[in-house]
Structure 1
Amino acid sequence: MSERVVPPAARQRRRPTKQGVVLSEDLIVETALRLIEEHGADALSVRRLGRALGADPSSLYRYFRTTDDLMLAIADELIGRTLRTWRPTGDWRADLRGLGLRMHAGALAHPRAAVLSSYRVTGRVYEIQAVETILGVLRRAGFPDPDAVRIYHVFVDQALAHGALDSASVAMPKAARDAEDAVWRATYARLPADTHPHIAATARHLVADMARSSYPAALDLLLSAAASRLAEIRSRSGDPAATLDPSVTTEP
């Protein structure tokens, strides 16, 4: 797409496309997301997207200036889908764990789009909502602002990185995935103890564990570290809650 853009007030198409649908930003994003999962990054072309919508490709400029602008909208929609499935409980640790697992599951539901968008900053409505929500959870838990931002940063990057990593694996052909899984059984599980004592001692655990995502365990480690940090902060401030097990949270 080029850099020309139609003012927002003129973006709504009043006539249906050849397929009888009225174009909207939501419809374009939904269609682009489907095409990416079916065909990969090459699906983000004006011609292919126009054909899928039954619309003149030039009409897409009413909604998005460039394909990158569309990619940012897709990334923001993935964030929105995560937020729409999440409900806070008031327990900061449970809330972040639930949100993180939903972020990861959302990436696996759209693996090709997740790989393309995981490193993008959209500045759009759902991303802004997510930043506000996560910082709110942390600040209400009692984290000072510098700690809240630091933990937010690690939490989001961890979820996005694992989502992209696992999505890349899911997007591989099944035969390639099966071949990689077999390496742990065919190679690592057969290494002799006299040359590789640590691998041999843990081989059965490697075979079982390496076949699944490490994200839930990584997330729990992060939240445990954050809980310990919160207990330290409370202890220094004389907060009686600091005497509790750091894995147990108390909301103000």
Structure 2
Amino acid sequence: MSERVVPPAARQRRRPTKQGVVLSEELIVDTALRLIEEHGADALSVRRLGRALGADPSSLYRYFRHTDDLMLAIADELIGRTLRTWRPTGDWRADLRDLGLRMHAGALAHPRAAVLSSYRVTGRTYEIQAVETILGVLRGAGFPDAEAVRIYHAFIDQALAHGALDSASAAMPKDAREAEAAVWRATYARLPADTHPHIAATARRLVADMARSSYPAALDLLLGAAAGRLAEIRTRSGQPTATPDPSPEAVT
């Protein structure tokens, strides 16, 4: 795509496409998401999108300057889909845990798109809403601004990184995924204790644990550390403190 774009007010297509649909930014993003999951990054071509939409490829310039502009819109839509399903309860730790898990699940629902978009900064509506929301949860819990920003940064990077990691694995061919999973059983579980005592001692747990994502455990560790930090802050300021119970998922 080129650098030219039509202002938002003039974007509405007045006539249906060949398939009888009226183009919109939302329809283009949804179609691009579907094509990415089917074909990978190659789906983000004007020609392929035009064919899928039944529209002249040049009509896409009314909505997006170029394919990178579309990629940012896709990244923002993934954030929006998470936010639209999340409902805060007022318990900062539970709310952030729920939001993080929803972000991770959203990435796995669109693994190829998540891998392409997880490292992007969109500056768009839903991303701005997410930053405002998470900082609001942290500041409302009592974290000073510097701590709120530091924990926000760790929280969001952790969620995006694990989402991209697990999405990349999910996007692998089934045979490749199964072959990698088998390595833990065929190699690690059979290493002798005299040469690899620590692996041998934990082999059964390794085989079981490495088969699933580490994100829930990593998230609990991060939020537990944040809760400990908040308790320290409250102690220094003379506020009442309470040690939160660990989440059930974190107890083994």
TM-score (ref. length: structure 1): 0.97
Question: One-letter code of the match for 2:151?
Answer: I
In structure 2, the residue matched to 1:245 is 243
SS at match of 1:40: helix
Residue of structure 1 in register with 2:84 after alignment = 84
- 1:7 equivalent in structure 2: 7
TM-superposed CA distance for 1:247, in Å, is 4.1
Which runs of no fewer than 5 residues in structure 1 stay unpaired?
none
- Alpha-carbon distance between aligned partners in 2 of 1:220 and 1:7, rounded to the nearest angstrom: 44
1:73: which partner in 2? 73
Off by >3 Å, runs of 4+ in structure 1 = none
CA distance in 2, matches of 1:9, 1:152: 35
1:33 corresponds to 2:33: yes
Does 1:175 pair with 2:175?
A: yes
Q: How does 1:84-123 map to 2 (within 5 A)?
A: 84-123=84-123
The amino acid of 1:196's aligned partner reads: H
Residue 133 (1) aligns with residue 140 (2) = no
C-alpha distance in structure 2 between counterparts of 1:6 and 1:143, whole Å: 43
8 Å contact kept, 1:230–1:246: no
C-alpha RMSD over aligned residues: 0.8
The whole-number CA distance in structure 1 between the counterparts of 2:174 and 2:9 is 46
Query: How many residue pairs are counted as aligned between the two chains?
Result: 246
Cα pair 1:50 1:57 within 8 Å, conserved: yes
Q: Cα offset for 1:5?
A: 1.4
Task: List per-residue Cα deviations over 1:88-142 (Å, max 9, x = no partner).
Answer: 0100000000000000000000000000000000000000000000000000000
In the alignment, is the contact (CA less than 8 A) between 1:227 and 1:247 conserved in 2?
A: no
- Please give the TM-score of this superposition, normalised by the length of structure 2: 0.97
| Counterpart residue identity of residue 13, structure 2 | R
Contact 1:37/1:112 (8 A) holds in 2: yes
Task: Give the partner amino acid of 1:48.
Answer: R
Structure 2: which amino acid aligns with 1:3?
E
Distance in 2, matches of 1:141 and 1:196, equals: 45
Taking the TM superposition and a 5 Å limit, the aligned residue runs for 1:201-216 are 201-216=201-216
Q: Deviations over 1:131-155 (max 9, x none)?
A: 0000000000000000000000000
Secondary structure of 2:70's counterpart equals helix
Confirm or deny: 8 A CA contact 1:231 1:246 kept in the other structure. Answer: no
Q: CA deviation at 1:7?
A: 2.2
Q: Shift of the alpha carbon at 1:172?
A: 0.2
| Match in the other structure for 2:163 | 163
Structure 2 counterpart of 1:168, one-letter code: A
CA displacement at 1:2 relative to structure 2: 1.0
Tell me by how many angstroms 1:246 deviates.
Answer: 4.3
Partner of 1:225: 225
Residues 228 and 247, structure 1, Cα contact 8 Å, conserved in 2: no
Spell out, residue by residue over 1:201-247, the C-alpha distance to the aligned partner (whole angstroms, 9 max, x if none): 0000000000000000000000000000000000000002x2x2144
Aligned to 2:18, what secondary structure does the other structure show? coil
Distance 2:9 2:84 in 1: 28
Give, in angstroms, the shift of residue 37 of structure 1: 0.2
Matched, 1:21 2:53: no
Kindly state the Cα deviation for residue 4 of structure 1 after the two structures are TM-superposed: 1.4
Equivalent pairs: percent with the same residue?
A: 90
